[in-house]
Structure formats: structure tokens, C-alpha cells
Amino acid sequence: MALPLEGIRILDPSQVWAGPTCTKILGDLGADVIKVESARRMDIARGDARAAPGGMGFYPENDPGPDPWNREGKYADRNRSKRSICLDLTHPRGVDAFKRIAAHCDVVVENYRQGVMDRFGLGYNDLKKVRPDIIMLTMASQGATGPEAAYGSFGVTLEQTAGVASVTGYLGGDPSTSGVLFPDPLVSVVSVGFILAALRQRRQTGEGVYIDLSQREMTTSILGDMVMDYTMNDRAWEPIGNRHRTFAPQGIYQCRGSDVWIAISVETDRDWAAFAQTMGRPELIDDPRYATVIGRREHHDELDSLITAWTSVRDAFITMSTLQAAGVPAGVVEKGEDLVSDPQLVARGFWEYTGHTPAETRPYLSRPFKFSKTPGFTRFPAPLLGADTAAVLRDIAGMSDAEIAELDGLGVTEDDPLTFAP
């Protein structure tokens, strides 16, 4: 059975997280994704050309090696199943080459700061001239228009300006950002759908489209009930820690070991009865303080202590299984190591193994969906910087060997970042 997106070609100058993660999913499902960087301006997720051990990058065994830009873990995961070319887009010949490739692509995905592609001469109107039905998705942090369009952002600032941080934080405490920069993955997965919707529209009408996605707006779009409560009741939400807005008790409780925790969430009176029974405290089921959700909310602090006394001497995984067997929602707060061996993720083949050599082979994150008939998998490891430049220029842009050599001589296709590293 063929991969579902075979035959679709994506030209991908996107960087860092949201853009690359979107195109990696498309690549896993069969699209031919051509990632565009330059040795002068690599995807910053590759890290520094001369990375020091112990820096911010995730290098195998903490060793950046002679070519750290090809070894960084976040980069590797987000860019597998793609080809890599180097084009200096500040050089007119680089821009020309980009256009000649774009003429044979269905989609361009980019997440530069607003205006950068236009300055290169590679905006939608420029690309439309070489490929009239091209689809272009731009995912600037605040969209391509408006007074803040040129503002910079990181995932961590988007969490602040989109409203997510205003409801994240310990009970009674200040708003807080998350530990993962949630807007990036959110934007990446939904963009897969938007691109395929545009391709469907093109199949129906023959027309391409320019899609102007705002990462900030997308992030606010997951706060429907918060916005509607303000709309209806002028009420602003505050952080409630790990508690639930309605039911109780819900929290994160310490288990045996260091920094080991379990999440427990009692939704109904029936859940409460099952939970009290499992804790060996059947007398609490009908205790007037706890029998109803109103009582449980009122006595939440007291319940938290009581639950912690029970969980803190117990193994987290066994406690989860025991509670789930009794029908009580519970889940271990998994660490990286737990995730890699998580029985559910392992049983469903979530981890996909790849690497340039057997020694480099590691588990990679797959995707949140599976298809019953069509495959989808990490097809090959992230490309070495510029590994496919010559092949793409020859096979897709139709350049002669002489022309490719000329670009090389001009430095347009330079692929050794050490040439420019300070």
C-alpha cells in the first residue's frame, strides 16, 4: 500500500519547531519535503556550528562531535523524512534557484519573521509567477498583517500573549509559562490539516492559495471556554494549579521515590466511592464532608493531605493500575525515561527508530494518529546539512552540472557552517 501523501512536494524554508514539525509529519506520510537552509543561516535548532559540550543542545552522549549541526536531537527529530539543500537566499542566484525548485512544488511552508520572504523576493506573489497554483502557508507569530506583525516571538512569549499563561500556575499563585512551549506543537499539527485542505481545494478548483496563520491566534483558539466566560460574564480566569474547575478532588500526588508523582482525578460520586474503597477507607464514601462534589471542593486541601498520605508510600505505576482497575482516572507523571518504556506507547509502536548508523539509532517521536490501510513512518533520518543540494538542483530545478558547479563556486550552495562560524 502506498504512503498517503506520495506525489506531493513541499518546499520548506521553515525553521525551529512549528514549521519543521508540520513538514516532518507530511514527510513521514510520503510527501517529498525539501528543506532549505544555508551554511550562513542554518535552522537555529541545529545549534551553534562550534557547540561546546554542556551547552543547550541535546547531543548524543553530550558530545557535539566535529559536526554538531548534524547531531542535535531536537533538530534530528523535527527534520527526519526530509531532504536538505543549502541555498543562500541573500544571493540573487540563490533566490533564482529557489524559484526554479518552487516551480515544481505544490506547497511552500515558512515561519520566518513576517516580511522576510518578501525581502528575499520570495513572497507569495513572486512564487505565483513561477507556479500559478502554488499553495503557501506562512505561520508568522502574529500573522502577516497588523500592528504587531513584525514583532518577534518564542513559544514562551506566545504562551503569555495568547492567554495560556494566564490560566497556568499554582493555585493562588502567579501565572506561569509551561515547560514545553506548547504553541509550537499545536500549530504544527493543525497546519498539516490546513495544508491538505488547501490541496483539496486545488484539486477541486485548480487554484492555489496564500494561507496566513497566526500562531498567537491559534493558541488562543484552544481557550474557547475561557473567552466565552469573559464574553458572557466579564470574568477573567486565574490559575487553579492542578485542580479542576468543576469536579474534585484532582491533583498531583507524591509517590514512593524521588520526584515521582501520580495524577488523580475524581470526576463523579461513583469515582469517589471507588477511590475511597481502593484506599481502604470505605468510611469516607458517605462522610458528609466528602460525599458530594460540593463537599469535596470545600475540603480539597484536607483531601489532598489524606490522598498524599496514601500515595506517598506507594509505587506510582502500581497505584495507577490499581486505581484504573477500579475505574478511577489516574496516571503516572511520566518522565522522559518513562515515556520511552511506556507500555501503551510501546505496544502501539509510537517510537520509531532511526539513525545514520546503527550506533546512532534512537527512538523518535511519531504521530498522534494511525491509519488502518496506509502506512506512515520515519522514512529516513534527518539529512546532513546540504546532503541533497546537487540532486535537487539537477533533478527538480533541471540545472546542468556546469550550473551547479558555478553556484558552488559562488558560495551560493556552501554547506559547511564552519566557513562562517566565529
Instruction: Map residues 308-347 to x or -, x wherever contact with another protein holds by CB under 8 A.
Output: ----------------x--xxxxxxxxxxxxxx-xxxx-x
Q: Residue 309: left if φ>0, alpha if ψ -120 to 50, beta else—which one?
A: alpha
Q: Is 145 in the site for another protein (CB under 8 A)?
A: yes
Instruction: Map residues 167-196 to x or -, x wherever contact with another protein holds by CB under 8 A.
Output: xxxx---xxxxxxxxx--xx--xx-xxx-x
Binders of another protein in range 258-277 (CB under 8 A): 259, 261-263, 265, 267
Q: Is 293 in the site for another protein (CB under 8 A)?
A: no
Exposed e or buried b per residue across 124-161, where buried means at least 16 C-beta atoms within 10 angstroms of its C-beta: bebbeebbeebbbbbbbbbbbeeeebeeebebebbbbb
Q: Quote the least distance from Cβ 20 to another protein, whole Å.
A: 11
- Select 252 or 285, whichever has its Cβ closest to another protein: 252
301 part of the active site: no
Amino acid at 211: I
Measured CA angle at 418 (ends 417, 419), to 5 deg = 85
- Select 233 or 402, whichever has its Cβ closest to another protein: 233
User: How far is it, in rounded angstroms, from Cα 399 to Cα 77?
Assistant: 31
Exposed e or buried b per residue across 231-240, where buried means at least 16 C-beta atoms within 10 angstroms of its C-beta: eeeeeebebe
Q: Quote the least distance from Cβ 398 to another protein, whole Å.
A: 26
Q: For cell 462522610, name the residue.
A: 287
- Among 15, 81, 111, 254, which residue interacts with another protein (rule: CB under 8 A)? 254
By CB under 8 A, the count of residues binding another protein is 143
Q: 48, 184, 388, 415: which one is catalytic?
A: 184
Q: Quote the least distance from Cβ 90 to another protein, whole Å.
A: 19
- Among 19, 47, 64, 163, which residue interacts with another protein (rule: CB under 8 A)? 163
Binders of another protein in range 46-65 (CB under 8 A): 58-62
Instruction: Map residues 72-111 to x or -, x wherever contact with another protein holds by CB under 8 A.
Output: -xx-xx----------------------------------
Q: Are 379 and 28 in contact (CB under 8 A)?
A: yes
Binders of another protein in range 386-405 (CB under 8 A): none
User: How far is it, in rounded angstroms, from Cα 142 to Cα 12?
Assistant: 20
- Measure Cα distances from 165 to 158, 192, 224 in Å: 9, 25, 15
Q: Quote the least distance from Cβ 367 to another protein, whole Å.
A: 7
Q: Is 252 in the site for another protein (CB under 8 A)?
A: yes
Residue of 157, 176, 175, 34 lying closest to 102 (CA atoms)? 34
Q: Quote the least distance from Cβ 166 to another protein, whole Å.
A: 5
Q: Are 403 and 32 in contact (CB under 8 A)?
A: no
Q: Residue 54 burial (CB < 10 Å; 0-12/13-18/19+)?
A: exposed
Q: Quote the least distance from Cβ 401 to another protein, whole Å.
A: 35
- Among 79, 161, 354, 389, which residue interacts with another protein (rule: CB under 8 A)? 161
User: How far is it, in rounded angstroms, from Cα 392 to Cα 83?
Assistant: 9
- Select 203 or 288, whichever has its Cβ closest to another protein: 203
Q: Is 355 in the site for another protein (CB under 8 A)?
A: no
- Among 287, 302, 371, 405, which residue interacts with another protein (rule: CB under 8 A)? 371
Q: Is 10 in the site for another protein (CB under 8 A)?
A: no
Whether the bond between 249 and the residue before it is cis, its omega within 30 degrees of 0, is yes
- Among 69, 98, 290, 350, which residue interacts with another protein (rule: CB under 8 A)? 350
Amino acid at 385: L
Residue of 75, 122, 119, 66 lying closest to 97 (CA atoms)? 122
Residue of 323, 316, 298, 318 lying closest to 253 (CA atoms)? 316
Binders of another protein in range 193-232 (CB under 8 A): 193-194, 196-201, 203-204, 209-214, 216-218, 220-232
Residue of 211, 217, 209, 206 lying closest to 183 (CA atoms)? 217
Beta bridge partner(s), residue 330: 264
- Among 10, 11, 25, 293, which residue interacts with another protein (rule: CB under 8 A)? 25
Q: Quote the least distance from Cβ 408 to another protein, whole Å.
A: 32
Q: Is 237 in the site for another protein (CB under 8 A)?
A: yes
Q: Quote the least distance from Cβ 87 to another protein, whole Å.
A: 25
- Select 147 or 409, whichever has its Cβ closest to another protein: 147
Residues annotated as part of the active site: 184
